[in-house]
Every structure is written in C-alpha cells, then in structure tokens.
Structure 1
C-alpha cells in the first residue's frame, strides 16, 4: 500500500487555501462591520441605544471574530502544508511573511478581549489598530495570492 498522495489531490489541494482566504476576507470585513456597530451601541444614548442593543452586535462580533481567528490559523497552516507537499519547500517571501504576521496579529487582537470586557480603553484601541492593519494586509495578501494562483494555473 502506497502512502503517496495522489497527484490529483496534490494539484487541487492548492486551491483550498486561496478559496478559504477569500471567504475569510469576506468574514473579516463582516466582523469589522459588526465591530463598528458594537462601538456605536457603546456611545449611543436613549432610544437609539435601545434599538441598537437589539442587534446584539457585540455578541455577533465576538462570535464572527472567533471564527475568523480559527480559520486564519487553520488556513495559514494549511497553505504552508500544501505548499510543502507540492514543492518540497516553502517559498519564503512577502506573501508568507505577511501571512504569518497576520496570524500573529489576529491572535494578539483576540487575546485583548478579556481586557476590553473589563473596560480597558488601551486594549480596545490596540484591538482596533491591529485589526485595521490586518484588513489592509489582507487586501494586499488577496492581490499577491491571486498572482500566486495565476502562476500555479500557468504551470498546469
């Protein structure tokens, strides 16, 4: 019995990471939207506040953010594994390094949640800053990722 990975699996597995990352990028933008809404609730008053609270934006933001964290870690590791399986090495370049940096940033951002729940403004502002940088890097990663996918398709 051979333990080798079938060639068709190796070829098509290369598209799992990019597809997941595009879904993740959309989820990240949705988490941003929910975060902005949750922030509006915090500063709203009166009837506007009562109406916004019904949206449970803080709970949704936390849940979608947790999903984004999990998928980012799994997607980053998966992308590296598939690259290694198909090429016998990782290509250390801007795309890989930025992706690893993003994975670290989202972990730090999520780790600030307990401090934010206790009202620490420094944690809230750090969380916002890290996530704005993360969204910017994610947009850049999307462009460089498409270039990588184009190279893969060109070799098929």
Structure 2
C-alpha cells in the first residue's frame, strides 16, 4: 500500500520536525534549569532549603523530562518518516546519526530515574553527564537542521 499525499502536504510536513525540535530544545534548557534547582535544593540548608522545596523543582523536572522523552522519540521517528515519505529513503549522515544517538541518550537518562529516587549518586552523576551531552548535541543538531531546512526551501 502506497498512500499518495498531495505535494503541498508533503512540502509542509518537512517543517513539523524542525519546529518541534526547536521547541524541545527550549524545553530542554528549562529542564536543565529545573535540574540545577533540584541540585541546589539538595545541597541547601535551613531556611534556604525550605524556600527551595516550595518550588517543587524535583516534581517539575521529572514531569518535563517525561514530556521531553516522549516528544523527542516521537519527533525523531516523525522526522525520519517524513524524510522517507518525501524522498523514498533516509539520508544517512551526521544529522541522522546524532539524532539517533540523542534518542538513545535521553532514553538511557530517563531509565536512571528509579536509581536516583533510591539515592544512587552514580545514577545522578551519570544522568547529569548524559543530559549535558544531550544538550550539546541538541545545539549542534539545531545548526545542522537549519542547514537542511535551507536546502528544502532552496529546492522548493
């Protein structure tokens, strides 16, 4: 079965993945901020700790992280699907490979949550390292993604 999409729909589908990823990059930065606040709360004492606990940064960080996991995996699959629908193939290059790596990193990072909830510092340190690596790759992906969008716009 080969569904036929109008050229207009196929063209506009190209922009769903990049827009979603830019939104997720911004949300990732917010999640990093929340994570840093969780660390700050963990090391604070006295009145400062009481005030930070009121911010419920741990709950917010966990919720935002869950949303990021779901949307990043969905966005990665969607980006590959649209590329395949429009071109009949995937373009294996640094953008695709880094994106697949990022998908694995965020899944691994989220899988550390049960260990962190039980107080495992090795899991916490690994989670932080993976997520800052993920942010770096995400920023790089944003640049290469813009280049891909520019090519799409040029070829339109």
Give the TM-score category using the shorter length: over 0.9
Q: Which residue of 2 aligns with 1:118?
A: 118
Q: Does 1:19 align with 2:22?
A: no
Query: What's the CA shift for 1:42?
Result: 0.4
Unaligned runs of 5+ in 1: none
In the alignment, what sits opposite 1:71? 71
Q: Secondary structure at the match of 1:25?
A: helix
TM-score (norm 1): 0.98
**CA offsets 1:30-62 (integer angstroms, 9 cap, x no match):** 000000001100000000000000000000000
Aligned pair count reads: 155
Aligned ranges 1:1-156 → 2 under 5 Å? 3-156=3-156
Q: Unpaired segments of 5 or more residues in structure 2? A: none
State the shift of 1:3 in Å.
3.5
Q: What's the offset of the Cα at 1:7? A: 1.1
Query: Offset of 1:6 from its aligned partner?
Result: 1.3
Aligned residues: CA RMSD: 0.8
CA distance in 2, matches of 1:90, 1:3: 18
